[in-house]
Structure 1
Amino acid sequence: MQADVVVLGAGIVGISVALHLQKRGRSTILLDRRGAAEETSYGNAGLIQKEGVYPYGFPHDFGALLRYGLNRTIDAHYHPSALLDLAPFLWRYWQHSRPARHAEIAKRYATLIAHCVEEHDALAAEADATQFFKRNGWFRVFRTKEALDLRLAEAERWHKEFGLAYRALDAAALKAEEPHLAPVLVGGLHWTEPTTCNDPHGLAVAYLRRFEALGGRYVQGNAATLEVEGTGWRLTTAQGPLSAGAAVVAMGPWSDMVTRSLGYNLPLAVKRGYHMHYRAAGEATLNHPVLDTERGYFLVPMARGIRLTTGAEFARRDGMKTPVQLNRAEPIAREFFPLGERLDNEPWMGSRPCTPDMMPIIGKAPRHRNLWFSFGHAHHGLTLGPVTGRMIAEMVTGETPFVDPTPFRVDRF
């Protein structure tokens, strides 16, 4: 097999890269060891986060650090055996999360986030996939007035700095919007601009089908076999050897399997997360994704049922599955919203690829010709897939990228 470009990794980012390349007339092969979007892109809260200008940072207040240190929370959990390995990453992550540095990062990160909804809309229209979207935003709800006031003040600052739209909800307004939530809430914050997706896996597969309709090919193979061949690349697939003029590494948390073998020591770590689906009990309905802020879990209406998602688990990427956060969250969530029986045989787990400065790696590899990196999107892979896909395709084809890629370059570390 031969192609102009091979894209390694068929999550939402890799699929978007491949689709944008194929649209620009580059014969493209998309390669993964599994089926498309069956890893990290399969399970998330389904948010295309137009409001997500501040990537998720490491907390700096003493109360949060103490809670996390006790390792009993829903929003964060860690494997003690992995802490020694993770310590260098966590130290740099903590440094980049300092308020002044975090604010600088947000200004750069916002250049990506600003385009997330419109770029998804463009691909979804081409892929006949708009049925996966809802346009009513998501809710952050609060049990205490102190937490509500803090987050509303933050939202107002973001509105002034980035133009983000939001709505403040008192208890009565929140009850009118979500009548089946328990009456323990003092109010909420409604982010009105994000798009929500009721089946992230289905959306990614729809984009893949569009890629194939344009002449792209999806094959299974081992990305770790990537090696230089003249001015291009060669690797092994289930259908035989593959040669390509250029390669794009978009393997999410597994990207270092390729980058390390090529001599790049990039600070990539993972935050693992879990989900479970439930039937809504009786006639109960959930109209928006809802974050129970003080407890640290999401409830999201999905095509399969109500999805309960957890926060971050700091562990080795391939460490044993430990869904303790899900087990902590479920009884609280059942009191919060009338959940019925579980719909999945076991909890799903995925790994988010993270960098210490919370920004993805997007751009040309500095020491190899015709090699490009596109990974490290952390919590915003779904949000930024099409934005990143367009940027990489424009760089590969020699166009001027519609977003300045400089802040996301590989050699910033």
Structure 2
Amino acid sequence: MHCQTIVLGAGIVGVSTALHLQARGRQVILIDRDEPGSGTSHGNAGLIERSSVIPYAFPRQYSALLRYGLNRQPDVRYSLAHLPKAAPWLLSYWRQSAPGRLAKAAADMLPLVQRSVEEHDALIEAAGLQGLVQAKGWIEVYRDATLFAQAKHDLQGLARYGLRYEILEREQLQAREQQLDGGVIGGIHWLDPKTVSNPGGLTRGYAALFVQRGGQFLHGDARSLRQVESGWQVDSRRGTVTADEVVACLGPQSADLYERLGYRFPLGIKRGYHMHYATRDGAELGHSICDTQGGYVLAPMARGVRLTTGIEFAASDAPANEIQLRRCEALARKLFPALGERLDDKPWLGRRPCLPDMRPVIGPAPLHKQLWFNFGHAHHGLTLGPVSGRLLAELMTGERPFTDPAPYSAARFA
């Protein structure tokens, strides 16, 4: 089989990239060893996060570093055995999180974040997936008066981003989410983001749109990629596929490919878990809720209420560890007393692909012709999939890109 472009990886980033290339006239074959949307794109909080204009940074305060160092917090946990290997990456992440560098990262990421909702909207409408998406935003809640006051003060620094939000005092929050515990003193309702009740289903719906428009999806192993005289080849279950160009959108598995080709990107993995729960007595959760102190999200999903955890630093292939999930579950049962029994046999474990400078890699590979990268979206793969797919498609087809692609260049790690 021959095509113009092979896209490796059928998560939200790869499927979106394939759709944008297809819309620009490319003949595309999408390849993944699993079904579309079954990896990291499946197990997230379902937020199209227009309001996250400041990247998630490494803590800088000594008090916070000491607190996390004790390894007892619900939002961040580390494996002691993995710490020596992770230490250089964490140090680089800490350096990049200095105020000036964080402000630059926020400015560089803003063009992608600003267009995230509208790029999703176009694909949602084309694929007929409106039933999976709601425009109700999400609510971050506070149980500590000092932290709530600081959060309200911090809103002043976000004024230039034009974000829409409502500050909810205790009574207003209780009116909006009546099932929350009365000990919650207030919250901030972010109105710009959209929520998805089945993130994996959304990705599969986009993949179905790609096939409906004439694209091909094949099962195959990206690690079989090789450069040949006519371009690139990959082995699939239906035989060898040859193409003029190839795009690697492999998320946390990106290193399996790029290291074989001689690249050394500082890609780190932040692991995370989710579990679905029933609710008691027909109780409903109307919005996605983020417990800012607990570092977890409760999100109403098609399967039930999904609890997604924060960050676990451990070897990517290490067995799942329920410590963090149990800590968050205990807090969630206090915050939302109607949280019922678990619905999944075991926790889902996912891996977020993160670069220490808090920017993805989007663009051409420096050492190979017609090899392109689109990975490293950290906590916002679902949010940024369509918009980063558009940017890469514009670069590949010679269009004028909607924003300067330099901040996402692979060459910055040369």
Partner of 2:84: 84
Partner of 1:133: 133
What are the Cα deviations for residues 249-301 of structure 1, in whole angstroms up to 9, with x where unaligned? 10001011111111110000100000000011113111111011112211111
What displacement does 1:349 show? 0.5
Q: Distance in 1 between matches of 2:156 and 2:116?
A: 21
Matches within 5 A, 1:1-150: 1-150=1-150
- Structure 2 counterpart of 1:279, one-letter code: A
Residue 231 of structure 1 contacts residue 369 of structure 1 at CA under 8 Å; is this kept in 2? no
Residue 227 of structure 1 contacts residue 235 of structure 1 at CA under 8 Å; is this kept in 2? yes
Partner of 1:195: 194
What are the Cα deviations for residues 347-389 of structure 1, in whole angstroms up to 9, with x where unaligned? 0000000000011110111111111000000000000000011
Residue 21 of structure 1 contacts residue 393 of structure 1 at CA under 8 Å; is this kept in 2? yes
What displacement does 1:403 show? 2.2
What displacement does 1:156 show? 2.4
Q: Secondary structure at the match of 2:16?
A: helix
For structure 1, which segment, 232-241 or 377-386, has the greater mean C-alpha deviation from structure 2 after superposition? 232-241
Residue 167 of structure 2 contacts residue 188 of structure 2 at CA under 8 Å; is this kept in 1? yes
Partner of 2:258: 259
What displacement does 1:161 show? 2.2
Partner of 1:224: 223
- Structure 2 counterpart of 1:269, one-letter code: G
Partner of 2:345: 345
Partner of 2:399: 399
- Structure 1 counterpart of 2:170, one-letter code: A
Structure 2 alignment gaps of length 5 or more: none
Q: Distance in 1 between matches of 2:305 and 2:322?
A: 18
Which stretches of structure 1, 4 residues or longer, exceed 2 Å deviation after superposition? none
Q: TM-score scaled by structure 2?
A: 0.98
Q: Distance in 1 between matches of 2:389 and 2:293?
A: 35
Q: Distance in 1 between matches of 2:179 and 2:400?
A: 49
Q: Distance in 2 between matches of 1:99 and 1:183?
A: 36
- Structure 2 counterpart of 1:40, one-letter code: T
What displacement does 1:231 show? 4.8
Residue 46 of structure 2 contacts residue 196 of structure 2 at CA under 8 Å; is this kept in 1? yes
What displacement does 1:90 show? 0.5
What displacement does 1:166 show? 1.3
Q: Distance in 1 between matches of 2:110 and 2:152?
A: 19
What are the Cα deviations for residues 301-329 of structure 1, in whole angstroms up to 9, with x where unaligned? 11110001110001111112112110111
Q: Distance in 1 between matches of 2:140 and 2:230?
A: 50
Q: Secondary structure at the match of 1:329?
A: helix
Q: Secondary structure at the match of 2:281?
A: coil
Q: Secondary structure at the match of 1:174?
A: helix
Q: TM-score scaled by structure 1?
A: 0.98
Q: Distance in 1 between matches of 2:365 and 2:56?
A: 26
Structure 1 alignment gaps of length 5 or more: none
Q: Secondary structure at the match of 2:259?
A: helix
For structure 1, which segment, 203-212 or 313-322, has the greater mean C-alpha deviation from structure 2 after superposition? 313-322
- Structure 1 counterpart of 2:192, one-letter code: E
Q: Distance in 2 between matches of 1:251 and 1:398?
A: 23
